[in-house]
Structure 1
Amino acid sequence: MILLLLVISIVLIVYATAKWKLHPFLSIISSTYIFALLTNLTGTLNGINKPLIADIGKEIAGGFGGIITSIGLVIIFGTLIGKILENSGAAVKMAEVVLRLLGDRHPAIAMSIIGWIVSIPVFCDSGYVILSSLKKSLAKRTGVSVVTLGVALSTGLYATHTLVPPTPGPIAAATNVGIGPEGLIWVIVVGLIVSIPVALAGHIWARKVADKLPADLDEAVETFEEYKARFGKLPSGFASFAPILIPILLMAIGSVANFPVGVDAEDQKILLTSGFTHTLLSFLGAPVNALFIGLLFAIFGLLPKRNEETLTNWMSAGLLDSAIIIMITGAGGALGAIIKATPIADYVKSLLDGNAAMVGVGGLIVIFLIAAVIKTAQGSSTASLVITSTIVMPLLPSLGLDAMLGTVPIGQILTVMAIGSGAMVVSHVNDSYFWVVSQFSKMSLTTAYRAQTLATLVEGITGIVVVAILALILL
């Protein structure tokens, strides 16, 4: 009965968000309270003398605060970096660097790669808007269909948006399934690996299918050079890439510093580094510290002027964006705490005992389907990542997804990848990104469904296939 109540609560979250247009934060929190109260009522009706959830308010507050404590600053720093990249012209500079390397001979490949890079720190919606003029100018210069370039760009952006931190959605999902700060670098590494074939699938769809579809987009009224001039003097290539690459490098160094190389006489781990070196590298490699250093590189390397406009207005806009994500993530943490306070996990474990098809790869496919249903129904990839990871976290041991590969929580990491793949399926009319792509490329609704919606379906399916293959090898 409690499991049925959870399903009803999830349906309520989706319905309230999609049909009533209630903000995801309020829909998750409201459904959490409803689920908790009905769970206690169910216990009472079944003759249980004390409430199944002893203190609902304490559990909700604890779950909400616990998630924000572990991930709040990471989301804030990552979002601020993205805002600076967006407003300073650094994202355009990164695009220019890629175009310089590839030239005009492979414009669709260039757009896929540009999108894949830019969306690691920048939300895919913003990234598409930023690079839309580049797409139009490149279409005019090369004669390639603007629909082809638009879908190549959108699918490149989408691949890393749902799979690779420091984008807030994957960070929140990783935290919700129990991956600590020391495991975040491995989420990035595996996310990059999975996102490459996903972006490639989107690129192939753009070339083979979208290329044959019509668009009503006028010719570009400005060249790429004229578009660049809007930003004045662009930052250097190093300054543009540094806020993304430096934190990743630092987290990698921190992970290497904590790599076990053996055990001592007391069976304690011997790490690769020790003493001051270990302390320093561990400090620099902690995700919150690494991203703060990346933010400093963005502030001192990218801001055209450090004045009220950049240091206050740009930062305020970034903080506002991050606050929304943090609140939704915190609400997901509250729901997760309530779920963990119920006997659902034990019940599901009893259902799965002896059912090998639901363990490992089978469990990942189930998780993918849950994320896909939530994404398709309510539109937000980030909300799908948060809600799905919250739901499945207590179930991971039963699904065989708490496996470790040495010190790497590979089962949890693959869970995040399965959720991210499901959170792509599918982008349609209830998704703001669908409208950004279709309107900035002047696609009709029918064309947008065939070009963008089906492309996201192909990407999601490709993602879960890659995750399943990795699971067969690593689990």
Structure 2
Amino acid sequence: MGLVLILIALIVFIVLATTRFKLHPFLALLGAALLAGFAYQLPVLEIAGHITRGFGGILGYIGIVIVFGTIIGVILERSGAAITMAETVIRLLGERFPTLTVSIIGYLVSIPVFCDSGYVILNSLKNALAARMKVSVVAMSVALATGLYATHTFVPPTPGPIAAAGNLGLESNLGLVILVGLVVAFITAMAGMLWANRFIGKDIELEDDGAPIMDSNDYQAMRDSYGELPSPVKAFAPIFVPIVLICLGTVVNLPARPVGEGALYTLGTFLGQPIFALAIGLALACTLLKSDNKRQELHDRVTEGLVAAAPILLITGAGGAFGTMLSATPLGDYLGQTLSTLGIGLFMPFLVAAGLKTAQGSSTVSLVTTSALVAPLLGQLGLDSEMGRVLTVMAIGAGAMTVSHANDSFFWVVTQFSRMKVATAYQAQTMATLVQGIVGIITVWLFSLVLL
């Protein structure tokens, strides 16, 4: 029992350090790793080795993938490719189902672009559509936000799911994580959209800051600020080509070896490795650069991407250090014996991730910390198969979206840009993320009955 109490104390330390004392999650996780070493009475001279091995081990592979994915997202954001993606979806789906349209737009755009940035970019488009189709701004806002939120927590190359997959030993099988993540994310996005539909016909009073809500003229001005927008092929290629290559790498490596083991197998395996797939994606993203001095523009975008990726890399590395420290303790065996009798399986990582998300606000921190925490316990939980690890990433992702409220930056982005009153935002946005999280874990559990 003492082992569990130490673990609970470490989780409380992480939550309090990041919330009340405003300590950066990187330092909080490293501090928790150090405290774990002493609390579990590991040999003092081995503690530093566990921390550095855990930190370097996770970043040695996943770090480059996170950086490439972040740079691609920055280029897509700055080039107006996200606008092209959104307008392509509108052309395909029309305007008959407004909340479905903006939900799918969010679902696609948030694969490469952070959900906060995606919402800011698409806000004026969403408001213009709401005005044109005479639909509640609140309904459209929640549909867009939950679409963005779904792929943000489930689908690589978004950094949170990549880091969780790395912590759980799936860095060489991201294709399977992407395939399952796309399905789970779509189901949770639709759950968010259905919740948003509750507000379609309601006349909800919004905050008045003295300026009118953006209409189609404002959207056109914002669109024009990007200059000439890229074509749909150019806009979608930097993200969907890497995803296809990663999934191809997974297919050619199936036990049945569908393409044999010759040159085609070698080529598919090589291009399907996330590092090379995303390198190709970055090369395709470079075709979106449009200034006269493309070399300088690329340098600027890479710099922006590195700045955005740095805190995620540090948090991911510190999470790896924390997980490695826990795996060196007798905690795994003890919890395994205890948890195996309870039979909670995938619900354990979901509840831990949901508790961390609700307490400290960051989905990425929740994904990294929980995956580091449960990695040593997969065998005891009956989840140490390849599919068991993938579904564990999904369960953690479902927890990491439960729930978005006042301590989450995304909550305030949605609230402020849509002008929802805080009380309205809790009813609409926060409750939507609760619905998404519950639907997400139920979906993952149902998958586990079939796939495990």
TM bucket normalised to smaller: over 0.9
1:220 is aligned to 2:214: yes
What RMSD, in angstroms, separates the aligned Cα atoms of the two structures?
1.6
Aligned twin of 1:326: 313
CA contact (8 A) 2:68 2:279 kept: yes
Deviation for aligned residue 1:286: 0.5
Letter in 2 for 1:224: Y
Q: Does 2:299 correspond to 1:312?
A: yes
- Cα gap change, 1:112/1:289 in structure 2, threshold over 3 Å: closer, same or farther? same
Matched, 1:375 2:366: no
Q: Distance in 1 between matches of 2:30 and 2:373?
A: 14
Q: Structure 2 counterpart of 1:202, which letter?
A: G
Instruction: Give the unaligned 5+ runs of structure 2.
Output: none
Which deviations, in whole Å up to 9, do the C-alpha atoms of 1:123-145 show, x marking residues without a partner?
A: 10000001011111112211111
* 1:211 Cα deviation after fit: 5.1
Structure 2 residue 370 is the aligned partner of structure 1 residue 388: yes
Report runs of 4+ in structure 1 exceeding 6 Å deviation. none
| Structure-1 residue corresponding to 2:252 | 257
Give the Å deviation of 1:34: 1.6
Counterpart for residue 281 of structure 1: 268
Query: Residue in 2 aligned with 1:138?
Result: 129
Q: Please tell me whether the aligned partners of residues 102 and 110 of structure 1 are also in contact (alpha carbons under 8 angstroms).
A: yes
User: Which residue is equivalent to 1:440?
Assistant: 417
> Secondary structure at the residue paired with 2:28?
helix
1:333, 1:271 → 2: CA distance? Answer: 35
* TM superposition shift of 1:255: 1.9
Farther-moved stretch of structure 1 (248-257 vs 195-204): 248-257
Residues 1:343 and 2:330 aligned together:
yes
CA distance in 2, matches of 1:229, 1:271: 48
CA contact (8 A) 1:84 1:303 kept: no
Query: CA shift at 1:215, angstroms?
Result: 2.1
CA contact (8 A) 1:239 1:302 kept: no
In 2, are the aligned partners of 1:113 and 1:156 still within 8 Å (CA)?
yes
Partner of 2:279: 292
Q: Structure 2 length normalisation: TM-score? A: 0.95
Secondary structure of the residue that 2:182 maps to in structure 1? Answer: helix
How many residues were matched structurally?
446
Q: CA offset at residue 271 of structure 1?
A: 6.5
Aligned to 1:48: none
Task: Give per-residue Cα distances to partners, 1:189-223, cap 9 Å, x unaligned.
Answer: 00011111100010011111465343236332525
Asked if the contact 1:379–1:430 (Cα under 8 Å) also holds between the matched residues in 2, the reply is yes
Compute the TM-score of the two structures, normalised by the length of structure 1.
Answer: 0.91
5+ residue gaps, structure 1? 41-50, 262-269, 404-408
Q: Percent identity?
A: 52
Match of 2:241 among 225, 243, 246: 246
Q: 1:363 to 1:209 in 2, by over 3 A?
A: farther
Where 2:347 maps in the other structure, the secondary structure is helix
The alpha-carbon deviation at position 75 of structure 1 amounts to: 0.1
Shift of 1:230: 1.0
Of 95, 99, 118, which aligns to 1:108? 99
| Structure 1 residue aligned with 2:22 | 21
Paired AA for residue 404 in structure 2 = S
Aligned-pair CA distance for 1:366: 1.6
Q: Which amino acid aligns with 2:330?
A: P
Partner Cα separation in structure 1 for residue 290 and residue 190 of structure 2: 33
Residue of structure 1 equivalent to 2:196 = 206
Deviation at 1:309, TM superposition (A): 5.1
Q: Deviations over 1:140-193 (max 9, x none)?
A: 211111111110100000010000001000010011112131x11000000011
What is the aligned counterpart of 1:234 among 220, 226, 229? 229
Of 49, 53, 56, which aligns to 1:65?
56
Match of 2:408 in 1: 431
